[in-house]
Chain A
């Protein structure tokens, strides 16, 4: 069985590391990107199953990244990582096709559950 490929886009080093240290032992292949531009470049390199992107980043924010992904790779599921949740951004991201959003700080279990759920839907 192929490992599911997950791309994590976040400007915070600790968040990226947390994600990789949580998801890698759980059997996911994890790539990391420091910003939206880098993330989109990595996406072009090969097919990914899921993208976790931070909402608030310099240069290109999470909503913009989500829009670009949904334009270029509609099959890729997106989970938004957010520092704080507002109704506005939640509604906006779901409308744009995000599968879910996850609030920082999240526990490893919560992250694995969210990612698994998204991938389950994709496979269904």
Chain B
């Protein structure tokens, strides 16, 4: 499995390809080197063979000229006994062996078709070649044998010699034939061949090891690192960093990979962040829409309540007039202090209470008919404080103002705002139950939707619990004792502030107190 995988890998393919090329190349190299070496050696042997034959001719020259047959035979025998010399023979012009290192050959006539003769006497009728010939044959041990045949040409000394004068016109007087064993050469070639083969194999092995190592380090390892990196990144690990710092293409690839991963990570982060902020924005918008919707419903409620109140006021006030009037008329018929007198007074008081409820309800109808002008909130608060300051209810209440002297003006109906502020102050006074501190703070604020003036009414009362907090802006909701509050003050205030484009909100902590905030749009400074 591993082997098959390795063979299919890039490194495997490279090693197989390069290995094959190396083996083929080395084989060709080995073959030609071997052949060349062999050829050179044979060429040298032939040269040596020629010298040898020359040497034979020169050694026997004197014997020939003086026709001393014994001397010639002895010389030939001496030469023929040298190592590597198989035999040396001298033929006369008739093809008869005249002298031989092998004595029994003397007098033997060789057939023209014998291997030695055929090289010159190629076919009958054709004049023989009169140049030296070389042939290589094999002996019984399959060693090479070098056969050299050299003609002995006629010379001046030959045809002028007194002994056995050769005719002048005869060109070739005889032949020298030598057979030299090339066994040492064959052995040398064989040893050299083995040596070269071993060298080539060692070379191939070393090259293969080096090649494998280099390829492994340069290709296989970085490629598998890249593969692992790709798998990691594909699996979502964008922090993965490839630690390849080479200057080659793999290094560049790794660098590009790292850059790509970090870009991917950046893009992913941006996307995630975008997704998060989008979610937050959608949430914010949804909340804003919900708030606007709730306010719209509330406004609609208040508006219809206002319309209803106007109608009810008209209808109820007339019968109340009757009750009050006749109550008073009846009152005159009983002296003060009598039970009847007291009862009638209760009737009148309750009728008046009805009337004040109706008046409170009418606040809704009035909220829509505001007369707005640039107004300084600090002044309006001061007016409101002046109204309450001398009231007995406020004798033990500390009124603290914390005004921003550079408060921006707002476009508002000052009498309506005064009604709102009075309501806030009265509520705060009720919350501290006649004893405590009411702090009124004004300041300019700026948020996403623009510039605003914020007024805070903070009391040191007991705070509002969650259950009541949800209802405080509902009409007719009150925690005050029966007869003391109509439950319309905050609802009307809320309606008025809304009509001015502002908002009212509460922050409260049980046991510490409550802050009512009124936020009104600041008037844009005119040119």
Contact = CB atoms under 8 A, between A and B. Distances in A.
Given A14-B322, A86-B366, A87-B371, A104 B317 contact: yes
Nearest to B318: A12
B488 to A, nearest CB: 14
Contact of A15 (B313, B318, B328, B359): B318
Interface size class on chain A is 20 to 34
A18 B321 contact: yes
B116 to A, nearest CB: 156
A103 B324 CA distance: 13
Given A86-B366, A86-B369, A106 B314 contact: no
B369 A88 contact: yes
Contacts of A106: 321, 324-325
A105 B320 contact: yes
A19 B324 CA distance: 11
Interface stretch (B129-137, B350-358, B431-439): B350-358
A84 B328 contact: no
A56 interface: yes
Given A104-B318, A105-B317, A84 B362 contact: yes
B353 to A, nearest CB: 11
Nearest to A110: B324
- At the interface, is chain B mostly helix, strand, loop or mixed? helix
A83 to B, nearest CB: 4
A65 B362 CA distance: 25
B355 A105 contact: yes
B322 A17 contact: yes
Contacts of B317: 83-84, 103-105
B322 to A, nearest CB: 3
Interface of B: 310, 313-315, 317-326, 328-329, 351-352, 355, 358-359, 362, 365-366, 369, 371
29 contacts: A12-B318, A12-B321, A15-B318, A15-B322, A17-B322, A18-B324, A18-B325, A21-B325, A21-B329, A22-B325, A22-B328, A56-B314, A83-B313, A83-B315, A84-B313, A86-B369, A87-B371, A104-B317, A104-B321, A105-B323, A105-B324, A105-B325, A105-B351, A105-B352, A105-B355, A106-B325, A107-B324, A108-B329, A111-B325
